[in-house]
Structure 1
Amino acid sequence: MKVVVLGSGVVGVTSAYYLARAGHEVVVVDRQPAAGLETSFANAGQVSPGYSAPWAAPGIPVKAVKWLMMKHRPLVLWPKPDGQLWNWLVRMLANCTEEAYRRNKGRMVRVAEYSRDCLRDLRRETGIEYEHREQGTLQLFRTQKQLDHVGDDTTVLDEYGVPYSVLDVAGCIAAEPALAGVRERIVGGLRLPGDETGDAHIFTQRLAAITAGLGVTFRYGTTVTGLRTEGDRIAGVMIGQEVLTADRYVMAMGSYSPLMLRGIGIHLPVYPVKGYSITLPITDPAMAPVSTVMDETYKVAITRLDDRIRVGGTAELAGYSLKLRKPRRATLVRSVSDLFPRGGDLGRASFWTGLRPMTPDGTPVIGLSRFSNLYLNTGHGTLGWTMACGSGQLLADLVSSHAPAIDPSDLGIERYRGVLEAPA
């Protein structure tokens, strides 16, 4: 079959790779001049199945109010007349229950654990290199209250057999020796040894090259203006005056997916949550992180790449704005300079922002839409890099009518159906 994939971020490219492996003729369309130039470009660098959890959790409404009052706040909300935003927020708040949290975290861990396994297989098959490390994630707690609530996450980790260790200060320093110099700032941590790190941009670009070698066509610099429908099918993708046709279509445009789908009557509850990162060269390897350290207080990830430190975080609800805001940089600087003050050169740090496609329940949307030949692979939020390979393999199995390795039944848009979809 001929399949058109819309989007060449890490999710779109992995989808194309697995579709090509399944024997399909694949065309990837993207407005950018190359793969991985938007949200995949400078993310936090984590492949963190063990850290996969929805933002919608018990106690989050109260915490959110406190975060909004912090100088270095992890959450930023720009009040404005945006119906999509307020709709999304109401639905997210509805998921802030114990039952919903367990259900949603279970879904996310299932996809993320599978994805980590798919990534390892892909690495063996292709020999792809992307500055990856396999040394786990350390979720770092600065307060006793944070440490006391670690059981909220470990219960679900136990249920899914995800290995972890709850560490005291000495254990944290054993995992990340550079923390020895700031031991008075931490009380403990949760270590997830199965997590990995790597540069998502390098991975996406190199996998795109491998995928092109499998016969996939990449049409870069090409803006999609709409989808054409005929009855219950997609009849083509409109690119200016051209209509690109195929047997199957895959929507993998991240935060821009709902804008494109709205034109054909699909109301996808994905909102662009803006994130920021800084990347700084390492000055003293012994004083830099070994892998990823999650600063629980500021919700910031500090990740070791080869000769750089990537610091990512902040959830800014500001629509589709890509404006770089200095206060958001200050939060990232505060976290990394507090924990790894001698690790890197902040004077030479680059600053970046991207839009993370978030669903209100945290789970991506993977599967068939109400159109019989349109599949969705989007809404991965902050975990697109973590879930990319598993999502791509699952998507390819569904398109190919193969039995998938994991249960996809609660991952599709059906979980919103009746409320969010309207006739075209």
Structure 2
Amino acid sequence: MKITILGAGVVGVTSAWYLSKAGHEVTVVDRQPGPALETSFANAGEVSFGYCSPWAAPGVPVKAAKWIFQKHAPLKIRPTLDMETWSWLLRMLSNCTEARYAVNKSRMVRISEHSRAALAALREETGIRYDHRTRGTLEVFRTQKQLDGIGGDLKVLESYGVPFEVLDRKGCTDAEPGLTPNAHKIAGGLRLPNDETGDCFIFTNELAKLCAARGVKFLYNTAIKDVRRQGSCIVAVETTAGDLEADIFVAAMGSYTPKFLKPLGINLPVYPVKGYSITVPIIDESRAPVSTVMDENYKVAITRLGDRIRVGGTAEIAGFSKTLPKARQETLTLSVEDLFGGAGDQSQAKFWSGLRPMTPDGTPVIGKTRLDNLYLNTGHGTLGWTMSCGSASILADLISGGNPGIETDDLAVSRYAA
């Protein structure tokens, strides 16, 4: 079949790869001059298959109220919100129950574990390189209370057979020697040995080259103007490069997907939760992380990418704003310097922001819509890089009539109809 993918981030490009391998004729469209130039450009770099949890969790409403008065809070909400934002926030809050959290986390772990196997197979098949490491993720807890609160997460990991280790202070420094000078600030940690790290931007660009070698066509600097629909099918997408016709259309435009779907009568509750990162060169190898360290206190990921450290975090409810407030950089700097002080040259920090496409339940939206030839692969929030290969292989199987190998009925946009 002839398939057009809208979006050339990591999710769109991985979708192109798996659909091409399934024998389809694939075209990828993006308004940017190349792949991975928006949310996939400078994300945290963690590929955390085991460390995937919904932002909507029990206790978050109370924590959010306290965070309002904290300078370095992991969640920031602008004072004036539009009705669309309020609607999404209310949906997210409705998922902050023990029952909903368990369901949503199990969905996310299911996709992530599928993605782990898919990425490993892709790497073995292609030899693709992207500053990757397979040294696990360490989530560090600064208080015993934080450490004692992980019981529910451990049950989900056990149910899916995900290996993990609960570590004391020494166990944390054994896994990440760079933490040793600041070990007294840590109560313990949760290590996920199967997790990985890697530069999403490099990966996406290298995979785009492999896709092009398979015959995938990329249309960059191409904006979508309108959609022509006839009955229950999309006839064509009107773009600045002309009309694009296809048998199947895949919307993988991250936070901008709802705007594309709205004229088609499809309500997709995906919100652009803003995140930030800094990237700094390593100047002291002995103090640097060896993989990804999650600072539970600030919800910040500190990741080793070759000779650089990538620090990503903060969830900001601010619409489509891409401003770079100095205060957000200060939070990221505080976290990395508090745990890995002196490892990187902060004077050369590159500061970036991106819009994470977040669903209110944390689970991405993968699968068919009520239109016969329109599929979605979006809404991955902070885990687009982690879930990209699994989501794309699931999508390719659904479109091609294959068996994805995992339950997918609860991943489509139809789950919000109820």
TM tier, smaller: over 0.9
TM-score under structure 1 normalisation?
Answer: 0.98
Q: Structure 2: 5+ residue runs without aligned partners? A: none
Match of 1:198 in 2: 198
Deviation at 1:175, TM superposition (A): 0.3
Match of 1:181 in 2: 181
Distance in 1, matches of 2:85 and 2:39, equals 19
Match of 1:390 in 2: 390
Secondary structure, aligned partner of 1:162: coil
Distance in 2, matches of 1:241 and 1:308, equals 38
Deviation at 1:49, TM superposition (A): 1.1
Match of 1:37 in 2: 37
1:115-159, Cα deviation, whole Å (9 max, x unpaired) = 011000000111100000000000000111101112121111111
Deviation at 1:81, TM superposition (A): 3.9
Deviation at 1:382, TM superposition (A): 0.1
1:208-229, Cα deviation, whole Å (9 max, x unpaired) = 0000000000000000112211
Are 1:234 and 2:224 an aligned pair? no
Match of 1:27 in 2: 27
- 1:409 maps to a residue whose letter is D
Percent identity (aligned): 62
- The aligned length equals 418
Secondary structure, aligned partner of 2:63: helix
Match of 2:18 in 1: 18
Match of 1:209 in 2: 209
Distance in 2, matches of 1:219 and 1:299, equals 36
**TM alignment of 1:10-409, pairs within 5 A:** 10-240=10-240, 242-409=242-409
Q: Structure 1: 5+ residue runs without aligned partners? A: 419-424
Cα root mean square deviation, aligned: 0.8
Distance in 1, matches of 2:63 and 2:332, equals 19
Secondary structure, aligned partner of 2:293: strand
Check whether the contact 2:222–2:241 (CA below 8 A) recurs between aligned residues: no
Distance in 1, matches of 2:13 and 2:87, equals 30
Distance in 1, matches of 2:65 and 2:299, equals 15
Secondary structure, aligned partner of 1:4: strand
Secondary structure, aligned partner of 1:50: coil
1:183-220, Cα deviation, whole Å (9 max, x unpaired) = 11111000000100000000000000000000000000
Distance in 1, matches of 2:78 and 2:63, equals 17
Check whether the contact 1:226–1:263 (CA below 8 A) recurs between aligned residues: no
Match of 1:422 in 2: none
Distance in 1, matches of 2:207 and 2:366, equals 21
Check whether the contact 2:77–2:317 (CA below 8 A) recurs between aligned residues: yes
Distance in 2, matches of 1:352 and 1:177, equals 28
1:153-175, Cα deviation, whole Å (9 max, x unpaired) = 11111111111011000000000
Check whether the contact 1:9–1:40 (CA below 8 A) recurs between aligned residues: yes
Check whether the contact 1:302–1:311 (CA below 8 A) recurs between aligned residues: yes
Segment drifting more, 98-107 vs 239-248 = 239-248
Distance in 2, matches of 1:252 and 1:275, equals 19
Distance in 1, matches of 2:223 and 2:270, equals 21
Distance in 1, matches of 2:128 and 2:81, equals 45
Segment drifting more, 237-246 vs 310-319 = 237-246
Deviation at 1:241, TM superposition (A): 7.6
1:40-76, Cα deviation, whole Å (9 max, x unpaired) = 0000001101111101111110011122221111111
Distance in 1, matches of 2:317 and 2:411, equals 24
Match of 1:421 in 2: none
Check whether the contact 2:364–2:411 (CA below 8 A) recurs between aligned residues: yes
- 2:87 maps to a residue whose letter is N
Deviation at 1:283, TM superposition (A): 0.3
Distance in 2, matches of 1:310 and 1:66, equals 28
TM-score under structure 2 normalisation?
Answer: 0.99
Distance in 2, matches of 1:293 and 1:67, equals 22
Distance in 1, matches of 2:189 and 2:95, equals 26
1:10-46, Cα deviation, whole Å (9 max, x unpaired) = 0000000000000000000000000000000000001
Distance in 2, matches of 1:399 and 1:239, equals 24
Distance in 2, matches of 1:46 and 1:262, equals 32
- 2:255 maps to a residue whose letter is S
1:321-346, Cα deviation, whole Å (9 max, x unpaired) = 11111110000000001001121100
- 1:320 maps to a residue whose letter is F
- 2:75 maps to a residue whose letter is L
Segment drifting more, 241-250 vs 130-139 = 241-250
Distance in 2, matches of 1:82 and 1:58, equals 25
Deviation at 1:79, TM superposition (A): 2.6
Deviation at 1:80, TM superposition (A): 2.1
